[in-house]
Amino acid sequence: MLAVPDAIDRVIERHGADAVCAALLPMLTPERVNRIDTVLANRLVSLVTIVEDTYDPHNAAATIRTTEAIGLHQLHVIEPGERFSAAGGVTRGAHKWIDLVRHRDPVAAVKSLQSRGFRVYATLPGAPHTIEDVDVGSPIAVAFGNEHAGLRDTTVAACDGALGVAMFGFTESFNLSVTVALAMNRLATRRREVIGASGDLPEEQRRLLRARWFALKIRGAVGVLDRLLA
């Protein structure tokens, strides 16, 4: 399920993204506006991280931070048991800049992405594909299991295939957040090479997100907008 619209989303819906940006633009420094536009230009919607049943709040937070830093638009979290909970100090505010999509049913989560044209891969030891050879010519999502049990068998069965991250030492597995960082950063690089651009955010999404990010940078933006645009 997608995130419930908040007060910022509702004010953008009332007034329109372009009107919101025009009203807030004089309140932002040129450097801040340029930074927002640069990040928007680098946003990837065609590569998605999925994490299942991640109960360690520090690993959860690191996953959010990594996903946003790589420039991905969404992080999907599957919560069949414990609710995905992140340690706020570790995210360093990264949770504000990505779409966090929550699911209860692992199979439904995979199928929802497949219905949007994504091929979904499970991460497994000894998988037939790696982050270096898996096909990134079309949208791809990668599912990571929790710190101890990995992915559920039903989740793996619902996926289109499996991939792994090469290891060369005696240690049998990376920490979850490290695995996410290694895999998704490499896949993002390869995906950008294939599409020939640093980002692929559709124009309408870019406009809406730009308005939201403008508002997030200004204290009390909702009240300000309602006064200016009433």
Residue 210 DSSP SS3: helix
Residues 45, 79 contacting (CB under 8 angstroms): no
What's the CA gap between 119 and 163, in Å, rounded?
12
Q: pLDDT digit string (tens) for 82-140?
A: 555 554 443 344 568 888 888 889 999 999 999 999 999 999 988 989 999 999 999 99
What's the CA gap between 66 and 74, in Å, rounded?
12
pTM, rounded to two decimals: 0.88
Q: pLDDT digit string (tens) for 61-82?
A: 788 889 999 999 999 988 766 5
The candidate with the shortest Cα–Cα distance to 141, out of 75, 42, 201, 196, is: 75
Predicted pLDDT of residue 4 = 54
Place of tokens 């979904």: 120
Q: pLDDT digit string (tens) for 1-55?
A: 445 568 899 999 999 999 999 999 999 999 999 999 999 999 999 999 999 877 6
- CA angle 161/131/156 to nearest 5° reads 25
Q: Which residues have C-beta within 8 Å of that of residue 119, sequence separation ≥ 6?
A: 135, 138, 139, 140, 141, 160, 161
Q: Which domains does the chain have, with CATH numbers?
A: 1-43+201-230 (no CATH), 44-200 (3.40.1280.10)
